[in-house]
């Protein structure tokens, strides 16, 4: 069934469409939702809980294949959110590598199968943790047993900060706290580390001195190796070079003399046959090259040093460098780096006291800055706390707790945390003369539901969550209080889209839209459906909720609608 309310949103942050396929008793539902307070009613067991279940799936709650409608292989849930400012959600999507909202429209889809489950954000596959992260910015869901976030002192602190408008101060404090923690860790690590022993100190000194004394030049290593090889084989080189020179110039029968004799004979040929010059030029070239070769051999012999002392010095140098490479690294570059590290460590050890004093001063300065930022934040929280408590008490009185007490307790913590210098906790006392107790100690779901609604009402201007869902939080309250609960929800509907699943006609009558969940049986199958009720159909539903079909009940239903700020 396709349903749409004709109320248009005067704010653009809302759930615009919820699609359900084959979820529990719902075979097919396309629910287009308008703005303001949206009431959902129906008899017990009609299937109202399916709507909440579908939203929980969108918010990343784990699914069970038992949710799939009997006879089907899969069920689908799809939600479209219209976001006027999608920057916050887009930042999350970008961090998670997902497609951002180009037109301000966010699509979340879950597919539950008998063998596997899948989820998508803007048609890109996503994980349940992604849905939870995104959903926390989109939907605030409250039921008779869904108040754990309200009971968390961390969440209460966030609420107080939102009310106080101290986002900038909180960020400034957190930056100071992080800087202090980092400085404190650096100082403590050095302070608590074992002092370097005499053995380590001597080893470091030896390493630095040994490497520095070697005066290593990694770029000159190749030249040194060549010189060493030449010096090591100098005697053999002299003998071979001398023998070669003798073959070139020796005793008039060397190669040079023979080439020169050939050159003379060729000259005679050229004199009598000039055309022969075409093939005789190479003899002259050979003679010139052989002369040059003989001179280079003589130079080479003169340069070879047969001094055993120099050869021994080169050998010692090579042995030293090879020894350093074995100890500190396979290359001379790594030997040099090892020396630099040892020198740095030696400096740290020798100047440990100076460095420790420097780090302690940095930690002290960072602590002072943190305490200043924390004191400023604490002061603003202390100023805002009583005002928030006063507003919440006013809302509580309107919800039936006429003499209830509510306090925002702020106590200094023994140690600063990332959230500030204080511990914040909300306390509530429904009965005069009884001591106030922390919210986490309230056992009555009826009480905690109304306290939650009071807090939400007080923070309506600061809460940026587009959709609030209240699932029968008006349970266990009387008619007059139920009317007050509905009025609070309607007021919240001025700043948020509010869906109220309720059994109370006083609440449903205040809704800008009223949807009825019905259960029907056809051909042996049970199906839940949802439709918007208006006019006579709405009066009939309110009459049923009032407990009968009498004319008195019908007149009462009309009266509720007539007196509602927003009527059908």
Give per-residue pLDDT as tens, 515-548.
Answer: 999 888 887 788 888 899 999 999 999 999 888 7
Q: Give the Cα separation of 163 and 408 in Å (integer).
A: 12
Predicted local confidence at residue 17, as pLDDT: 93
| Residue 390 to residue 454: CA distance in whole angstroms | 11
**pLDDT tens figures, 384-395:** 999 999 999 999
Query: Would you say residue 8 has pLDDT above 50?
Result: no
Residue 566 confidence class, pLDDT cut points 50, 70, 90 = very low
Tens-digit pLDDT profile for residues 412-433 = 999 999 999 999 999 999 888 8
Nearest Cα residue to 408 out of 394, 428, 378: 428
What is residue 251's predicted lDDT score, i.e. its pLDDT?
67
Give the model's pLDDT for residue 534: 92
pTM over 0.85: no
In this prediction, residue 279 carries a pLDDT of: 84
Report pLDDT for 38: 93
Distance CA 249, CA 301 (A): 14
Distances in Å between the Cα of 509 and the Cα atoms of 112, 382, 535, 546, 567 are 36, 40, 12, 11, 7
Q: Higher pLDDT residue, 470 or 13?
A: 470
For residue 129, the surrounding DSSP H or E stretch is helix 128-135
Please report the pLDDT score of residue 108 as a whole number. Answer: 93
Radius of gyration of the chain, Cα coordinates, nearest whole angstrom: 45
Q: Is the pLDDT of residue 463 over 90?
A: no
Report whether pLDDT(46) > 50.
yes
Task: Find how far residue 164's CA is from the centre of its chain.
Answer: 27
Q: Which of 44-53, 69-78, 164-173, 539-548 has the highest mean pLDDT?
A: 164-173
Residue 198 pLDDT exceeds 70: no
Q: Rounded mean pLDDT of 159-163?
A: 92
Model confidence at 145, pLDDT cuts 50, 70, 90, reads: low
- Residues 213-254 have pLDDT tens digits of 888 887 776 777 666 666 666 656 666 766 676 677 776 667
What's the CA gap between 481 and 401, in Å, rounded? Answer: 9
Residues 6+ apart with CB under 8 A from 483: 506, 507, 510
Exposed (0-12), middle (13-18) or buried (19+): which is 203, by Cβ within 10 Å?
Answer: middle
pLDDT exceeds cutoff 80 at 184: yes
């Amino acid at each position: 069934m396709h349903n749409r309310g004709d109320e248009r949103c005067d704010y653009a942050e809302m759930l615009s469409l919820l699609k359900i396929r084959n979820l529990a008793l719902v075979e097919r539902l396309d629910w287009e939702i308008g703005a303001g307070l949206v009431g959902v009613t129906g008899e017990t067991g009609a299937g109202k809980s399916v709507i909440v279940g579908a939203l929980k799936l969108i918010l990343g709650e784990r699914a069970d294949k038992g949710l799939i409608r009997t006879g089907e292989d899969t069920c689908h849930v799809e939600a479209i959110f219209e976001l006027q400012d999608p920057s916050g959600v887009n930042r999350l999507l970008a961090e998670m590598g997902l497609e951002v909202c180009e037109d301000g429209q966010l699509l979340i889809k879950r597919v539950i199968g008998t063998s596997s489950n899948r989820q998508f954000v803007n048609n890109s596959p996503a994980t349940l943790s992604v849905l939870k992260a995104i959903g926390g910015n989109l939907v605030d869901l409250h039921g008779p047993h869904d108040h754990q976030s309200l009971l968390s002192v961390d969440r209460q602190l966030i609420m107080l900060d939102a009310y106080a408008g101290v986002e900038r101060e909180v960020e400034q404090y957190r930056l100071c706290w992080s800087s202090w923690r980092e400085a404190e860790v650096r100082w403590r690590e050095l302070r608590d580390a074992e002092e370097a022993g005499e053995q380590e100190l001597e080893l470091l000194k030896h390493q630095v001195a040994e490497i520095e004394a070697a005066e290593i030049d990694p770029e000159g290593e190749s030249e040194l190796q060549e010189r060493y090889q030449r010096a090591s084989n100098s005697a053999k080189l002299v003998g071979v070079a001398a023998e070669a020179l003798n073959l070139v110039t020796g005793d008039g029968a060397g190669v040079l003399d023979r080439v020169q004799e050939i050159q003379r004979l060729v000259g005679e040929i050229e004199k009598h046959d000039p055309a022969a010059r075409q093939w005789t030029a190479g003899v002259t070239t050979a003679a010139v090259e052989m002369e040059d070769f003989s001179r280079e051999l003589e130079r080479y012999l003169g340069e070879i040093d047969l001094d055993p002392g120099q050869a021994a010095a080169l050998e010692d140098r090579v042995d030293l460098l090879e020894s350093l490479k074995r100890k500190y690294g396979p290359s001379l570059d790594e030997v040099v780096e090892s020396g630099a590290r040892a020198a740095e460590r030696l400096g740290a050890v020798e100047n440990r006291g100076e460095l420790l004093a420097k780090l302690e001063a940095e930690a002290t300065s960072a602590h002072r800055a943190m305490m200043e930022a924390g004191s400023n934040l604490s002061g603003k929280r202390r100023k805002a706390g009583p005002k928030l408590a006063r507003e919440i008490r006013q809302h509580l009185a309107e919800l039936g707790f006429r003499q209830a007490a509510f306090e925002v307790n702020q106590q200094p913590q023994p140690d600063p945390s990332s959230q500030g210098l204080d511990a914040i906790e909300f306390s509530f006392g429904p009965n005069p003369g009884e001591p106030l107790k922390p919210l986490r100690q309230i056992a009555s779901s009826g009480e905690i539901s109304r306290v939650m609604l009071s807090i939400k009402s007080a923070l309506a201007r600061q809460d940026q969550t587009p959709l609030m869902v209240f699932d029968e939080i008006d349970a266990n309250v009387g008619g007059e209080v139920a009317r007050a609960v509905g009025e609070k929800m309607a007021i919240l509907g001025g700043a948020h889209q509010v869906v109220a699943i309720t059994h109370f006609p006083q609440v449903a009558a205040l809704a800008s839209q009223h949807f009825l969940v019905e259960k029907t049986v056809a051909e042996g199958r049970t199906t839940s459906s949802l439709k918007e009720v208006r006019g006579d159909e709405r009066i009939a539903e309110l009459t049923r909720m009032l407990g009968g079909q009498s004319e008195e009940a019908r007149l009462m239903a009309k009266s509720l609608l007539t007196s509602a700020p927003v009527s059908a």
